């Protein structure tokens, strides 16, 4: 049986973007609806509640199948560890670095000299001059090709820009990033027609801010609940949009939006399949009203709001991709768009590490600098290791995107989830290291003559990163879905009550035969094989990662055998497997990056000590995750919360205001 679990390592270089765009065009040629088995053959949705089934079927329909050869990170789940895919570290080519050099240098200088982040936070407004200057510099069209008025730079250069922005001002970062990572540029570059690109890309590259409108009151993590309607006009030339969108970042300043709307449903396999379609909508369209500006804990200058559509006419030529492909447009856009946040988080984490390094060296308590107290040193060591790993993972993945090195949706999701959560912890610990000064606002610090170090602003601003562009929980579900995919393809049919018995019996036979070969191999505790040019300290960690990948594959297989089709309900268990794989990816990226830095002449002792620290620390987290797969309180916790939701345990909210 040919299985993705044992697909050979061949057919390199099909990019994430290219892959997705090609798949979309394959879908086009089949008349809009992709000719692929309905999702029911992989996941049994028959026993799910209606809402859950609809959400899952919509997500499955929008999902492009993973390539059989998988990616470095997806293969970690099936015990196929191939370090050669990320080593030597895929560095930025010299020409590419040179191409971005001038822009990045001027962006850095401009931020330092002309963007007053504390003032922006205080006033809740980004001065129009800053926005105009950033447009003039090309900061809103970094990846837009030159022929359409952008800078035409690579993903790595865009990431480096995001790192600079993230280290300075989260409000400006959000403005620039929401505009081009999820706003009009990215979906148009991936799916737009030549006419759409010619019409809109020069505008959004040079002077017009864009935004992305998906979320509604009842549709946050669950777009299947979307209610904004787009009904075709009788003559078929346009759609009429009615409804509202919530929390649309950049809306208040935007000239053009990408709007996700429900178009008429289709019948698939005798059941209604909801259709979501993406449109480009000009903000000055009659019937479009911005009704409210939202305000948040952090990102005080976010131009985020509610937009209402009353009979807004959108011509068909403004549809992105085909009718019904909106969710695919959104998911594919985010597959690479998600890399901006980890790059910005890397910048912020570096800044916070710098703040802590300085403070821990100069603040004397109990007779010594606080960095000499092991409790504080331990926090800063974690920060240093994590900063190193975050940069390694993020720029490894960015470079692979530039090289079109296959489908990288798992890597980008891991980067997003890991970097945003780690940065939150770093900001939290930085506040602790700064003590009372960490909690005090920069303005108050300055008012009494101290250096205005804005740790509290950084903490407030970075919390949202774990919620938007795919919350941490949704990232874990997304990664787990892809992790299970090879197993679902081999054995999913066995448990699928929607399939005829004959097909399920056939699946038992073929998957039994398959696993009889695959499973014993997962017990062979061989390392990563021969790896050229890797320092022995790093080699030890890479071999550990190779062995642990097999242990992970076994664990996942055992869980599938134990829970069968109900495994998807074991979110906490799956999240441990996702946590293990993400740490393995981080260890591997760290080792590859460390070796490259040493090769570049960076002090080997410094590089090795931080990389080694990170890997050891990550291994402890992996131990913890594994321990939780066999010994946990998941079931009890779940039952407890169902009781709570049912109104029991009243004493837990007794005695409060
Ligand atoms: C500052 C800000 C800016 C934003 N910008 C934009 C924007 O530009 N465009 C846009 O379209 N949207 C935007 N959003 C919306 C954002 O993407 C959503 O907040 C996010 O998708 C989560 O949706 P929700 O808040 O409705 O949470 P819900 O979906 O209600 O989820 C609540 C909690 O439950 C968890 N959860 C939900 N479903 C599951 C599940 N199946 N399994 C496990 N856990 C689950 C979530 O992770 C979350 O922790 C923005 C939001 C904010 C606050």
* Residue of 184, 212, 221 to mutate, ligand 1, most atoms within 8 A of C-beta: 221
pLDDT of amino acid 24: 36
- Give the SS3 label for residue 196: helix
Ligand 1: residues within 6 Å at CB?
178, 211-215, 220-221, 247-249, 296, 299, 302, 304, 464, 467-468, 471, 473-474, 477, 571
pLDDT of amino acid 95: 94
| 420 and 564 together in one domain | no
Q: pLDDT tens digit string along 78-125?
A: 999 999 999 999 989 999 999 999 999 999 999 999 999 999 999 999
Per-chain mean pLDDT for the chain: 90
572 Cα–ligand 1 center, Å: 19
Query: Rounded CA gap, 196 and 319, in Å?
Result: 9
Query: Rounded CA gap, 213 and 249, in Å?
Result: 8
Residue with CA closest to ligand 1 atom 45: 473
Q: 306 pairs with which residues across the strands?
A: 292
463 Cα–ligand 1 center, Å: 13
Residue partners of 467: CB distance under 8 A and separation at least 6: none
Does the pLDDT value for residue 541 go beyond 50?
yes
| 461 and 548 together in one domain | no
CATH number at residue 371: 1.20.140.10
Question: What are φ and ψ of residue 134, in 5° steps?
Answer: -65, -35
Nearest atom in ligand 1 to the alpha carbon of residue 468 is 17
| 356 and 479 together in one domain | no
Check the CA dihedral 294-298-300-303 and report its sign: negative
Burial zone of 509 (CB within 10 Å; 0-12 exposed, 13-18 middle, 19+ buried): exposed
CATH number at residue 266: 2.40.110.10
Nearest atom in ligand 1 to the alpha carbon of residue 299 is 1
Tokens for 642, please give them: 């169902």
| 245 and 265 together in one domain | yes
Instruction: Choose the final residue of a domain: 470, 497, 512.
Output: 470
56 Cα–ligand 1 center, Å: 16
647 Cα–ligand 1 center, Å: 26
The percent of residues above 90 in pLDDT, for the chain, comes to 76
pLDDT of amino acid 639: 97
Q: DSSP code of 436?
A: H
Q: pLDDT tens digit string along 388-447?
A: 999 999 999 999 999 999 899 999 999 999 999 999 999 999 999 999 999 999 999 999
**Which residues carry out catalysis?**
469
How many angstroms separate the Cα of 17 from the Cα of each of 147, 155, 179, 500, 506? 19, 12, 18, 37, 36
Instruction: Give the residue numbers spanning the domain of 459.
Output: 338-470
Does the pLDDT value for residue 346 go beyond 70?
yes
| 430 and 513 together in one domain | no
pLDDT of amino acid 501: 78
- Provide the number of structural domains found in the chain: 3
Nearest atom in ligand 1 to the alpha carbon of residue 222 is 29
pLDDT of amino acid 188: 96
CB 522 within 8 A of CB 79: yes
Alpha helix stretches (DSSP H) within 600-652: 604-630, 634-645
β-pairing, 254-268 vs 209-213, is: parallel
| 350 and 303 together in one domain | no
Q: Is residue 448 part of a domain?
A: yes
Residue with CA closest to ligand 1 atom 31: 221
| 592 and 496 together in one domain | yes
Query: Rounded CA gap, 518 and 557, in Å?
Result: 11
Q: pLDDT tens digit string along 36-65?
A: 344 444 566 666 677 777 777 777 777 777
pTM of full prediction above 0.85: yes
For residues 579-605, average pLDDT:
98
Residue partners of 558: CB distance under 8 A and separation at least 6: none
219 Cα–ligand 1 center, Å: 8
pLDDT of amino acid 212: 96
| 328 and 350 together in one domain | no
pLDDT of amino acid 8: 41
């Amino acid at each position: 049986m040919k299985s993705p679990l044992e697909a050979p390592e061949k057919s390199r270089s099909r990019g994430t973007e290219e892959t997705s765009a090609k798949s979309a065009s394959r879908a086009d040629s089949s008349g809009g609806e992709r000719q692929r088995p309905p999702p029911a053959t992989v996941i049994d949705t028959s026993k799910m509640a209606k809402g859950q089934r609809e959400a899952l079927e919509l997500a499955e329909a929008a999902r492009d199948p993973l390539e059989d050869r998988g990616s470095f990170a997806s293969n970690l789940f099936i015990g196929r560890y191939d370090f050669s895919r990320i080593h030597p570290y895929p560095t930025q080519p010299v020409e590419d670095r040179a191409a971005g050099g001038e822009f990045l240098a001027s962006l850095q200088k401009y931020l330092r000299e002309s963007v007053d982040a504390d003032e922006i936070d205080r006033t809740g407004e980004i001065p129009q001059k800053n926005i105009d200057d950033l447009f003039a510099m090309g900061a809103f069209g970094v990846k837009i090709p030159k022929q359409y008025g952008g800078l035409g730079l690579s993903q790595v250069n865009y990431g480096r820009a995001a790192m600079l922005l993230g280290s300075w001002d989260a409000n400006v970062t959000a403005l620039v990033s929401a505009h081009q990572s999820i706003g009009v540029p990215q979906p148009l570059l991936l799916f737009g027609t030549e006419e759409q690109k010619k019409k809109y890309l020069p505008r959004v590259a040079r002077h017009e801010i864009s935004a992305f409108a998906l979320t509604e009151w009842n549709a946050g993590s669950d777009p299947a609940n979307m209610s904004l309607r787009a009904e075709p006009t009788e003559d078929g030339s346009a759609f009429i949009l009615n409804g509202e969108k919530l929390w649309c970042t950049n809306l208040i300043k935007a000239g053009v939006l990408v709007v996700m709307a429900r178009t008429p449903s289709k019948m698939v396999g005798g059941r209604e399949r909801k259709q979501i379609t993406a449109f480009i909508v000009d903000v000055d369209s009659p019937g479009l009203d911005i009704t409210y500006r939202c305000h948040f804990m952090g990102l005080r200058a976010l131009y985020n709001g509610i937009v209402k559509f009353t009979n807004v006419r959108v011509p068909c030529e403004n549809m992105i991709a085909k009718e019904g492909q909106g969710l695919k447009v959104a998911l594919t856009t985010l597959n690479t768009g998600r890399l901006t946040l980890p790059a910005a988080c890397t910048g912020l984490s570096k800044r916070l590490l710098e703040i802590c390094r300085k403070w821990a060296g100069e603040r004397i308590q109990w007779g010594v600098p606080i960095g000499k107290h092991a409790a504080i040193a331990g926090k800063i060591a974690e920060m240093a290791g994590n900063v190193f790993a975050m940069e390694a993972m993020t720029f490894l993945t960015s470079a692979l995107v530039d090289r079109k090195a296959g489908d990288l949706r798992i890597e980008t999701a891991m980067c997003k989830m890991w970097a945003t959560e780690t940065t939150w912890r770093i900001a939290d610990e930085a506040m602790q290291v700064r003590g009372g000064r960490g909690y005090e606002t920069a303005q108050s610090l300055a008012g009494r003559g101290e250096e205005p170090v804005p740790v509290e602003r950084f903490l407030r601003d970075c919390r949202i990163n774990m919620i938007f562009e795919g919350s941490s929980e949704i990232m874990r579900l997304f990664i787990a879905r892809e992790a299970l995919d090879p197993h679902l393809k081999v054995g999913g049919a066995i448990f699928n009550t929607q399939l005829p018995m004959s097909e399920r019996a056939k699946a038992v036979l073929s998957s039994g035969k398959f696993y009889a070969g695959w499973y014993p191999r997962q017990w062979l505790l061989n390392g990563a094989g021969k790896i050229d040019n890797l320092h022995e300290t790093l080699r030890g960690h890479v071999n550990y990662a190779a062995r642990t990948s097999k242990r992970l594959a076994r664990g996942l297989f055992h869980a599938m055998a134990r829970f069968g089709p109900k495994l998807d309900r074991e979110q906490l268990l799956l999240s441990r497997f996702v946590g293990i794989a993400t740490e393995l990816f981080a260890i591997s990226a760290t080792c590859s990056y460390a070796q490259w830095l040493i090769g570049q002449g960076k002090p080997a002792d410094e590089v090795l000590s931080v990389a080694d620290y990170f890997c050891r620390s990550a291994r402890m987290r992996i131990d913890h995750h594994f321990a939780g797969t066999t010994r946990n309180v998941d079931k009890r916790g779940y039952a407890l919360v169902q009781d709570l939701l049912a109104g029991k345990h009243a004493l837990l909210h007794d005695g409060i205001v």
